[in-house]
Amino acid sequence: MPLRRVVFVCVLWVCIALTSLRAEEPRSFSAQGRRGAIASVHPLATQAGLKALRDGGNAVDAAIATAVTLGVVDGHNSGLGGGCFILIRSPEGETIAIDGREMAPGAATADMYLRDGKAVAELSQTGPLAVAVPGAIAAYELAARKCGRKPLSRTLDEAAQLADVGFPIDRVTARNIREHRDEIARFPATAAVLLKANGMPLVEGDRLVQADLAHTYRQLAEQGSAALYRGAIGKQIAAWMAANGGLITEIDLANYVALEREPLVTTYRGHTIVGFPPPSSGGVHVGQILNILKAFDLKELQQRDPALLIHVVAEAMKLAFADRAYWLGDSDFVPVPRGLVDNDYAKQLARRIRLDQVTVVDDHGWPPEWDTRHFKKHTTHIAAVDEQGWWVAITTTVNTSFGSKVIVPGTGLVLNNEMDDFSAQPGMPNAFGLVGSRHNEIAPGKRPLSSMSPTLVLRDGQPVMALGAAGGPKIITQVVLAIIRFIDLELPLEQCLAQPRWHHQWRPDRLYVEQALADSVQQRLREMGHELQVIQAAGITQVVARTADGRFLGVHDPRIPGLAAGLD
């Protein structure tokens, strides 16, 4: 074994040991640094990002290193078998939006999941038909080439070494394996990685070794993304699909390209909000919800009655999600109105909100110039910043836990189930309970609608925060809550992420609230007419920001294990 690899493995085991020790100590959810900061859902991934910064990389390199490492240590959420959206702000003030969203195969049809006239959810959520063409590695490669300083090949090689050596799985991964054991067991290559020889799931503390994934990462390190899209990895995937009733072919893989999009820019109380355009619904509806909330003094509502603040924000969420269900889709295929983020339209919607009771929202609204002015044709988030002035927000996913549950033998890649993010049938809920219209119906080469919402917040033209979240449709509402708590309520970022959250997505007509929300507030919301569903957690958020003294602050969500780190 080369000396550099021996040293790397020794350091890696020290990091793993320290991570295990930290689990017994009081956890800190934030960290500061003079030279940069990074936050993610897994300590080993954050440490990989920090190492990229120490090795002379910038925040783009750090975020990519974190993302590809998450594909090793957090594969139930994300990986190179899935997709991503990347939002980058350069030191010169240029904002770059890279679309690595998955794409429907060429043989996909609008009715592919209908049986006897009804959509069968199982087909779009588990197994070969659920898989869309992965886009993550193409997006990381484009971002590294365009904005990075560190070779992507080295980043992939370091992640491969981690996959080879293995690591003790945490309680979150163990829980996801346990909950999906039966589905995992259906696919021998997946079971071989995630289940024991006797068919029982791995448990917290068990060491997960992924030799096939390490081999795949090394092929990508040597050949670039071509190894997947035009090489041996792609051939393995296409052959397995042909033998198991899937649709993805070598041609589909060869046709995939990561796209640069025009960032979506809105404003909120003296701040500029930069979001991701369609096929993300996040940028549109984060902007739309904030536009609606401009009509209200949120701090005064919070001081008068915390339930009033929750009520008003939930009503704004509901109105926006009603529009999402009808208007949103891949803007390369369908017309998505720019009027959804029009301030006058937001004022019109805001007038529908009553302070004393819920508003019945039967249908979507009609934004101005809806027919003429359009946008151009389970999940995790990484946030990173550095002293050079690079700010990065990456949201990446395989959709639900372990995606389609498929690992193609020999690849180690968990393949996504993003086909479920299309509307299999108008009005039919997907795995997250979201409904959609024909704007989001399946078509060859089309990218499914996503809630991923990487977001940058600027003040006086300078970035002050990069954030994003995981949690399906709750991504959008979590990002909104972090922004209004930061701007309107003027809370420290740690409190912005730690306080109880809520979520409304129009259908079902139900207000989701975290169980930490005070019983008295819950009762007031019921009195206003809200049907409540109490949940343990409304997703996971990661943030980096600039402090008043010019340092950088990283904050990870306290709801699960993770790590924020700063570099001095």
pLDDT digits (tens, 9 = 90+) for 132-183: 999 999 999 999 999 999 999 999 999 999 999 999 999 999 999 999 999 9
Catalytic residue among 379, 396, 397, 400: 379
Dig out the tokens for 173 from the structure: 């991964």
Percent of the residues in the chain that have a pLDDT greater than 70, as a whole number: 95
Return the CATH number at 268. 3.60.20.40
pLDDT digits (tens, 9 = 90+) for 445-461: 999 999 999 999 999 99
Euclidean distance between CA atoms 271 and 262, whole angstroms: 19
Does the annotation mark 109 as catalytic? no
Pairing assessment for the beta strands 532-535 and 511-514 based on DSSP bridges:
parallel
Euclidean distance between CA atoms 356 and 312, whole angstroms: 10
Q: Are residues 317 and 424 located together in one domain of the fold?
A: no
Q: Are residues 252 and 268 located together in one domain of the fold?
A: no
pLDDT surpassing 50 at residue 257? yes
What range does the domain containing 547 cover? 264-362+452-567
Q: Are residues 318 and 413 located together in one domain of the fold?
A: no
Question: For residue 248, which of 224, 231, 229 has the smallest C-alpha distance?
Answer: 229
pLDDT surpassing 90 at residue 339? yes
Residue 8 lies in a domain: no
Euclidean distance between CA atoms 567 and 368, whole angstroms: 47
pLDDT band, very low/low/confident/very high, at 14 (cuts 50, 70, 90): very low
The single-letter code of the amino acid at 248 is I
Backbone angles phi, psi at 37, to 5 degrees: -155, 155
Q: Are residues 271 and 248 located together in one domain of the fold?
A: no
Sheet holding 511-514, edge to edge: 502-503, 511-514, 532-535
In whole angstroms, how far apart are CA 25 and each of 28, 225, 259, 411, 541?
Answer: 9, 40, 43, 37, 22
Domain count of the chain?
2
pLDDT for the residue 437? 80
Sheet holding 552-556, edge to edge: 30-33, 552-556, 540-546, 462-470, 455-459, 271-275, 264-268
Pairing assessment for the beta strands 167-168 and 118-119 based on DSSP bridges:
unpaired
Residue 389 lies in a domain: no
**Stated pTM of the model:** 0.94
Euclidean distance between CA atoms 202 and 193, whole angstroms: 9
Beta strands in 402-482 (DSSP E): 455-459, 462-470
Q: Are residues 301 and 350 located together in one domain of the fold?
A: yes
Question: For residue 525, which of 343, 311, 326 has the smallest C-alpha distance?
Answer: 311
Residue 23 lies in a domain: no
pLDDT digits (tens, 9 = 90+) for 310-329: 999 999 999 999 999 999 99
Residue 356 lies in a domain: yes
Sign (positive or negative) of CA dihedral 147, 150, 156, 158 = negative
